């Protein structure tokens, strides 16, 4: 049995404890709700539980225990996060060298000089490409006509066909340099130039010599079939052998078509 003083003291402690519990509960609730609002879309609801011994619990997780009773759920606002769409820039178009180019050719149609670098090797610099300037092309054709004729006769290649190949490859720009490293009038790759024993592919005469020699080899390999030889010049002889003809590459097919069309025009003008 408790005396009056003891009952008073016990009651005072119980009331004080309840006040402290309620005060703590309110403070904790405000803090928890504040934090919940700061949290992004991962925020959770707040659950208030009463325990069998009078406990007051606030938590952001469910309690699956019979000793605790859920008395209230405080809903917290969920913030939606708007993600910005990722914009991917298309890869830059590049121009692969015509002779023994690595990988699958890309679609660079008639403009064989598309993607050619205006920067040379060392102190070399490229001229302005003027593929659409007929007078410029004709003047260049006249300038290299004697050299082309000599090597065309030496290797048994039609002179008009060589002119059409040079026109397609570099627009008669002796300083043309592709991003893949193909050089000069007939766009010789360094490895191909070495194979053809061309000491200086930047030298126009040596470049024409190497290019005509290589074209002659392709014509002999494919028994005089000009389309197959041109496809081999563009995509490599291995691709022509693999597909039994012109490879199914849009760029190579267009390349052959353009050169053959220009070649036929030249032959018709001779008649």
114 annotated active-site: no
Report residue 210 CA to chain centroid gap. 33
Asked if 219 and 231 touch (Cβ cutoff 8 Å), the reply is no
| Separation CA 132–CA 142 (nearest Å) | 17
Inter-helix orientation angle 159-170/226-235, to 10°: 30
Inter-helix orientation angle 204-221/134-155, to 10°: 60
Q: Active-site residue among 11, 55, 169, 251?
A: 169
Report residue 139 CA to chain centroid gap. 39
Entry field: residues in the chain: 271
- DSSP conformation letters of 18-80: HHHHHHHHHHHHHHHHHHHHHS-TT---EEEEEETTS-EEEESS----TTEEEEEEE--PPPP
Name which of 93, 98, 95, 246 is nearest 185 in CA terms.
98
Active site residues: 169
């Amino acid at each position: 049995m408790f005396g009056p003083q003891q009952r008073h003291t016990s009651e005072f402690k119980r009331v004080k404890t309840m006040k402290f519990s309620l005060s703590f509960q309110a403070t904790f609730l405000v803090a928890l709700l504040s934090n919940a609002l700061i949290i992004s879309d991962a925020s959770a609801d707040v659950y208030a539980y009463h325990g069998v011994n009078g406990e007051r619990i606030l938590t952001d997780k469910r309690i699956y225990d019979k000793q605790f009773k859920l008395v209230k759920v405080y809903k917290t606002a969920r913030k939606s996060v708007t993600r910005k769409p990722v914009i991917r820039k298309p890869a830059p178009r590049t121009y692969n060298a015509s002779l023994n180019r690595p990988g699958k050719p890309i679609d660079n149609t008639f403009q064989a000089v598309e993607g050619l670098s205006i920067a040379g090797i060392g102190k070399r610099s490229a001229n302005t490409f003027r593929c659409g300037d007929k007078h410029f092309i004709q003047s260049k054709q006249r300038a290299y006509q004697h050299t082309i004729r000599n090597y065309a006769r030496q290797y048994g290649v039609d002179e008009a066909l060589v002119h059409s190949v040079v026109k397609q490859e570099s627009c008669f720009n002796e300083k043309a340099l592709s991003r893949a490293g193909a050089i000069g009038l007939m766009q010789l790759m360094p490895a191909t130039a070495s194979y053809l024993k061309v000491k200086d592919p930047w030298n126009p005469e040596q470049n024409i010599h190497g290019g005509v020699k290589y074209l002659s080899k392709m014509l002999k390999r494919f028994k005089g079939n000009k389309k197959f030889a041109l496809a081999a010049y563009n995509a490599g002889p291995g691709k022509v052998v693999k597909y039994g003809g012109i490879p199914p590459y849009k760029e190579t097919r267009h390349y052959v078509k353009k050169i053959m069309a220009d070649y036929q025009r030249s032959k018709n003008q001779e008649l």
